[in-house]
């Protein structure tokens, strides 16, 4: 472990407040201990930020923004390109730290860093494509066009389950758009954030550019609450639960700020009578147990045509019996621990509720004796309209639900409050297109013959309904980090007014 920390420039106790490459050394707020969910051992500490340090961050970020927005966008893109190459150099070490501190298996930890690299590449290209449209005016000798300008300060609040990638999705696009980023990571994974800050600082050490990435660590919710309410933070991007996201959205809206919310997902896969089960079983297993069921895109509900139900059920139970649970840094491990004991307790409570409602637990749901936060992944036969099924349980619990007609399956898929990711497995074209049509899936992501957990960098990531409606990462997500301005230019010698109105003075 020490070798890993040394590789990333981490020490036994690390500064948690960063103003670009400069750290603050105030120790009065105490230390946030980072512990591994694998064995509950302390990894290292991160100094918590004080209110005074937070104030200094915002003040200096405002000053930096005044300069950063003047840097040409392609030059800003070059800075992000350098970050991408630094991440390539540190991919193995940072991926291992993600596994150590958060608990996802090594392949997923490396994959998360790869997502950071990919979005850096995307952002570099996007820095030369911050396009506005030219529009025709009804007035003669007039030209209209739109421009996109930086917002200012972008606040990024990230969750424990994706301790580095979600920051990158936001920060790289916000940066090439001319904004300055302030990051508040989850107190469950503070080391990952410090490691990323150090990698960014290393990449930009000789760039002679203003600082555009700031970091503070909050051990409770005091500074986070101040952050959300701060009118100087032009956009708050929040990733987390629907319950907290609802509060964040309301409070930012109350001060007329902008928010980008990426919240929960009670995601479903429909398996119809024409589905290829050779595709279904591995997609569902990865979707349900990857990251120990702690992804917003985790497969939570499997809606199966009655004619295929027994085959799917038996295939999944057999596959779950082969899942190797253990140290996430072991290459043979397929599922690591959940984040803490509270996560285990939530899954156990959900299982008891399912049993009380008359559901059947096919397998899993047991704690594994020993250190760490390990449990076996569970499968339950349930009904879609049960309250517990309508609620997202953030852990490795999958519900199997029968259906008879495709319309019924789509109605079930849509009949939850969240609307993030969805999928159908079918070899029938009409069913695939019906699922993707306006009256089909109501989610922000809808897939055919691929599971709910895949997120492509080229597509803007996010969902509808209680998922928050925000969009991060690809496509035209860059517009969320900018303000639109419409311009009209009169290049004639007359002054025709709008709506055909004119008058003489």
CA distances, 470 to each of 183, 259, 462, 467, 481 (Å): 18, 8, 5, 8, 11
pLDDT tens string 194-236: 999 999 999 999 999 999 999 999 988 899 999 999 999 999 9
- DSSP 8-class letter at 89: H
- Average model confidence (pLDDT) across the chain: 96
Q: Give, for 215, the enclosing helix (H) or strand (E).
A: strand 213-215
> Could you tell me where the beta strands, DSSP code E, fall in 263-419?
267-271, 299-305, 360-363, 378-381, 397-403, 418-419
- DSSP 8-class letter at 48: P
Confidence of residue 39 (pLDDT cuts 50, 70, 90): very high
Q: Which of 275, 270, 304, 256 is CA-nearest to residue 443?
A: 270
- When pLDDT is averaged across residues 249-275 and rounded to a whole number, the result is 97
* pLDDT at residue 97 in the model: 98
Tokens of 454: 């895949």
- State whether residue 45 is helix, strand or coil: strand
Distance from C-alpha of 314 to C-alpha of 26, rounded to nearest angstrom: 57
CB of 302 within 8 A of CB of 268?
Answer: yes
* pLDDT at residue 491 in the model: 95
Q: What is the DSSP string of 14-42?
A: E--EEETTEEE---TT-EEEEE-TTT--E
Confidence of residue 502 (pLDDT cuts 50, 70, 90): low
CA distances, 58 to each of 64, 65, 69, 441, 476 (Å): 10, 10, 16, 41, 28
The neighbouring-strand residues paired with 23 are 18
Distance from C-alpha of 498 to C-alpha of 505, rounded to nearest angstrom: 17
- When pLDDT is averaged across residues 132-155 and rounded to a whole number, the result is 95
Distance from C-alpha of 72 to C-alpha of 143, rounded to nearest angstrom: 25
Higher-confidence residue: 293 or 458?
A: 293
Confidence of residue 505 (pLDDT cuts 50, 70, 90): low
Confidence of residue 454 (pLDDT cuts 50, 70, 90): low
pLDDT at 456 over 80: no
pLDDT at 453 over 90: no
* pLDDT at residue 504 in the model: 63
pLDDT at 174 over 70: yes
Distance from C-alpha of 313 to C-alpha of 386, rounded to nearest angstrom: 20
* pLDDT at residue 201 in the model: 98
- When pLDDT is averaged across residues 231-254 and rounded to a whole number, the result is 97
Give the predicted TM-score (pTM) of the model.
0.97
pLDDT tens string 399-441: 999 999 999 999 999 999 999 999 999 999 999 999 999 999 9
Q: Catalytic positions, please?
A: 262, 296
- DSSP 8-class letter at 462: -
CA distances, 267 to each of 111, 323, 339, 364, 473 (Å): 21, 22, 21, 20, 20
- When pLDDT is averaged across residues 50-54 and rounded to a whole number, the result is 98
pLDDT at 457 over 80: no
Q: Measured over all CA atoms, what is the biggest interatomic distance in the chain, rounded to whole angstroms?
A: 89
CB of 23 within 8 A of CB of 17?
Answer: yes
pLDDT at 329 over 90: yes
Question: Strands of 180-184's sheet, edge to edge?
Answer: 22-24, 17-19, 213-215, 180-184, 153-157, 235-239, 258-262
């Amino acid at each position: 472990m020490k070798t890993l920390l040394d590789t990333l420039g981490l020490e036994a106790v690390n500064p948690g407040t960063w103003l670009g490459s400069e750290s603050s050394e105030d120790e009065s707020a105490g230390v946030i201990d980072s512990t591994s969910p694998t064995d509950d051992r302390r990894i290292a500490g991160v100094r918590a930020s004080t209110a005074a340090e937070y104030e200094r961050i915002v003040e200096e970020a405002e000053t930096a923004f005044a300069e950063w927005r003047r840097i040409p966008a392609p030059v800003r893109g070059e800075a992000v390109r350098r970050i991408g190459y630094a991440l390539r150099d540190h991919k193995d070490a940072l991926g291992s730290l993600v596994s150590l501190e958060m608990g996802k298996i090594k392949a997923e930890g490396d994959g998360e860093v790869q997502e950071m690299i990919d979005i850096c590449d995307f952002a570099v290209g996007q820095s030369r494509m911050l396009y506005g449209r030219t529009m025709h005016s009804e007035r003669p000798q007039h030209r209209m066009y739109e421009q996109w300008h930086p917002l200012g300060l972008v606040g990024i609040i990230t969750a424990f389950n994706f301790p580095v990638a979600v920051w990158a999705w936001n920060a790289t696009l916000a940066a090439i758009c001319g904004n300055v980023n302030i990051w508040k990571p989850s107190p469950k994974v503070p080391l990952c954030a410090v490691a990323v800050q150090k990698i960014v600082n290393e990449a930009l050490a000789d760039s002679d550019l203003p600082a555009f990435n700031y970091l503070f660590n909050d051990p409770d919710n005091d500074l986070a609450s101040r952050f959300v309410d701060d009118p100087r933070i032009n956009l708050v991007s929040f990733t987390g639960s629907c319950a907290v996201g609802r509060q964040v959205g309301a409070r930012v809206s109350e001060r007329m700020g902008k928010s980008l919310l990426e919240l929960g997902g009670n995601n479903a896969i429909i398996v119809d009578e024409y589905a290829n089960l050779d595709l279904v079983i591995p997609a569902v297993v990865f979707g349900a147990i990857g990251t120990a069921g702690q992804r917003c895109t985790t497969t939570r509900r499997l809606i199966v045509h009655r004619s295929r139900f027994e085959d799917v059920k038996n295939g999944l139970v057999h596959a779950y019996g082969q899942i190797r649970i253990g140290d996430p840094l072991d290459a043979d491990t397929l599922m690591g621990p959940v984040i803490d004991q509270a996560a285990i307790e939530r899954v156990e409570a959900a299982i008891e509720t399912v049993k009380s409602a008359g559901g059947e637990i096919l397998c899993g749901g047991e704690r594994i004796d020993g250190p760490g936060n390990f449990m076996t992944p569970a499968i339950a036969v349930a009904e879609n309209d049960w309250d517990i099924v309508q609620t997202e349980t953030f852990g490795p619990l999958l519900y199997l639900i029968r259906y008879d007609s495709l319309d019924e399956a789509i109605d079930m898929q849509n009949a939850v409050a969240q609307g993030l990711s969805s999928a159908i497995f079918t070899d029938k074209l009409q069913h695939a297109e019906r699922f993707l049509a306006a009256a089909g899936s109501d989610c922000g992501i809808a897939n055919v013959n691929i599971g709910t957990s895949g997120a492509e960098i080229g597509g803007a990531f996010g969902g509808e309904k209680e998922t928050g409606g925000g969009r991060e990462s690809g496509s035209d997500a860059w517009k969320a980090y900018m303000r639109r301005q419409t311009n009209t230019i009169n290049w004639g010698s007359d002054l025709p007014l709008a709506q055909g109105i004119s008058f003489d003075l």
